[in-house]
Amino acid sequence: MLDPVPSSPATLSDGSSPTGGAVLPDGVDRAATPPQRVAVLWCRRTADTALRALTSLDLIPLLLAPADTEEFLATSGEPSVLVVDCDALDAEAADVLARIRAAHPRLSVCALAGADASRDGLLHALRIGVAEVVDPARPDDLAAVLTKVVESPAHVRVLAVGAHPDDVEIGCGGTLLRHRDAGHAVTVLTLTLGDQGGRPTDRRREAVGAATRLGAELLLADLADTRLDEEVGLTRLVEEVVAAVRPTVVYVHSAADQHQDHRAVHEAVVVATRRVPEVYCYQSPSSRVGFSPTRFVRVDDTVGEKVDLLGVYRSQSARHYLEPDLVMATARYWARQLPHIRHAEPFEVHRASGDGADLH
Ligand SMILES: [Zn+2]
C-alpha cells in the first residue's frame, strides 16, 4: 500500500458538511459533521494533477496499489470515486478493477488517459465499462468530470427535523440510512436537548453518536423542551436552517401527534419548507390513530441497523418504543401495504415531486 497523501486541514475543514460555511441561526450548533469523503487513486505519473483536482473538491485523496484496494473497500467502505490512470492499468490491475466493478456497481470510476496513454490500459478501461475518460493534461476538464462524478448524488439534500433527540431516528431512521447509502447529503435538525426526559449532556452525546452512525450533519438547538408550542421564533429559526441546508427532501413530525412539541415542529417546518419539493411526515410513538400514511419506504436492508442506531440512546433504554422487537414489528406491520417488502417506514405525504426522494 502506498502512503496516504497528506492533506491540509485548512483545505478540508468543513467541506463535507451540507451546510458548509453557511451561516446558522443564533442558538443552533453544528454538533456533528459527516465523515470526510475519500478518493482512491491508482496513478503515479499523473498523481500531482489528480491530487490538485481532488483536493479542490474537498476530497481526501488516497494513493493505493490496485492489489490493496479490494481490502480497503471491504474494511473502510466505498470511496466517493476511484481515479485510475490508464498507464497503471495492466492486465492484473484490470482484473482487480473488473472485480471491484462487479462487487461495487455504484462506485464511480474515472480513467485518466493523455495523448500518450497506454493503449492497452485505455482498452482495459473501456472494456470494463469505465464511462468517464479524461485527459489529465486538461485540468479544467478533469475538475469538471470529477465534480460531475462526485457530486451527482448530492443533488439530493435531506433535512430531517425532530423536536427531541431520537425523534427522527425512531420516525425515519431506516429511510435516512438508505439516503446515506445512496450518497445523499443528510442533515438532522433537533430543536431541544430533551432535558425533560434525561440529562442534556447524555442526550447531546447520544444524538452526536446517532448522527455519526447516520453519516449525517447534526444541527442542535437548545429550545425549551415540552414548550415548543410557546416558542415564537420557531418558524424563523427553521427558515434560517432551511436557507443554510437548501434541502430537496424534508422529513418531519406528523400533525396527527399527541405531543405539543411534535405538533409545533410540524407547523413550523411545513411553513419554512414551502418551497421544498418533497416534504414527508413520519410516525412517532405519540402519533394519533389519525396518522394516515400513503408512502411506504422499503427498509429491509436497513431496519437491523436502525435497531442498532436506536441502541445509541442508552438514557432512553427503558422506553418501550425503543425495544428492538417493537421497532421490527412496526416496520413489519407497515410492509403489509406493499407486495414483496418485509419492512417499511410509513410517511404522510405533505408534498411530493415525481422523483420520490430518489430511493427507488
Ligand atoms: Zn419527541
Same domain, 179 and 298: yes
Query: For 124-138, 147-161, 189-203, which range has the lowest pLDDT when averaged over its residues?
Result: 147-161
Instruction: Output the pLDDT for position 295.
Output: 95
For ligand 1, the distance from its centroid to the CA atom of residue 171, given in whole angstroms, is: 10
For ligand 1, the distance from its centroid to the CA atom of residue 61, given in whole angstroms, is: 40
For ligand 1, the distance from its centroid to the CA atom of residue 18, given in whole angstroms, is: 24
* Tally of domains within the chain: 2
Boundary residue ending a domain (134, 152, 170): 152
Same domain, 110 and 227: no
Boundary residue ending a domain (136, 152, 168): 152
For ligand 1, the distance from its centroid to the CA atom of residue 71, given in whole angstroms, is: 41
For ligand 1, the distance from its centroid to the CA atom of residue 203, given in whole angstroms, is: 12
Q: Which residues contact 21 (CB under 8 A, 6 or more apart)?
A: 14
Does 21 fall in a domain?
Answer: no
CA-CA distance, 243 to 86, in Å (whole number)? 43
> What CATH number should be reported for the domain holding residue 237?
3.40.50.10320
Domain housing 204: 156-354
For ligand 1, the distance from its centroid to the CA atom of residue 152, given in whole angstroms, is: 34
Summarised one tens digit per residue, pLDDT across range 290-346 is 999 999 999 999 999 999 999 999 888 878 888 999 999 999 999 998 889 999 999
CA-CA distance, 150 to 6, in Å (whole number)? 21
The pLDDT of residue 107 is above 70: yes
Q: Are strands 157-162 and 249-253 parallel, antiparallel or unpaired?
A: parallel
Boundary residue ending a domain (107, 132, 152): 152
For ligand 1, the distance from its centroid to the CA atom of residue 184, given in whole angstroms, is: 25
**What pTM does this model have?**
0.75
Instruction: Output the pLDDT for position 336.
Output: 93
Instruction: Output the pLDDT for position 355.
Output: 58
For ligand 1, the distance from its centroid to the CA atom of residue 92, given in whole angstroms, is: 54
Mean pLDDT of the chain: 87
Same domain, 182 and 291: yes
For ligand 1, the distance from its centroid to the CA atom of residue 154, given in whole angstroms, is: 28
Indicate the helix (H) or strand (E) that contains 98. Answer: helix 91-103
CB 296 within 8 A of CB 178: no
Same domain, 161 and 254: yes
Summarised one tens digit per residue, pLDDT across range 200-258 is 899 999 999 999 999 999 999 999 999 999 998 999 999 999 999 999 999 999 999 99
Indicate the helix (H) or strand (E) that contains 261. Answer: helix 260-272
Same domain, 137 and 180: no
For ligand 1, the distance from its centroid to the CA atom of residue 253, given in whole angstroms, is: 9
For ligand 1, the distance from its centroid to the CA atom of residue 31, given in whole angstroms, is: 19
Residue written as cell 425512531? 170
Q: DSSP assignment of 117-141, as one string?
A: --HHHHHHHHHHT--EEE-TT-HHH
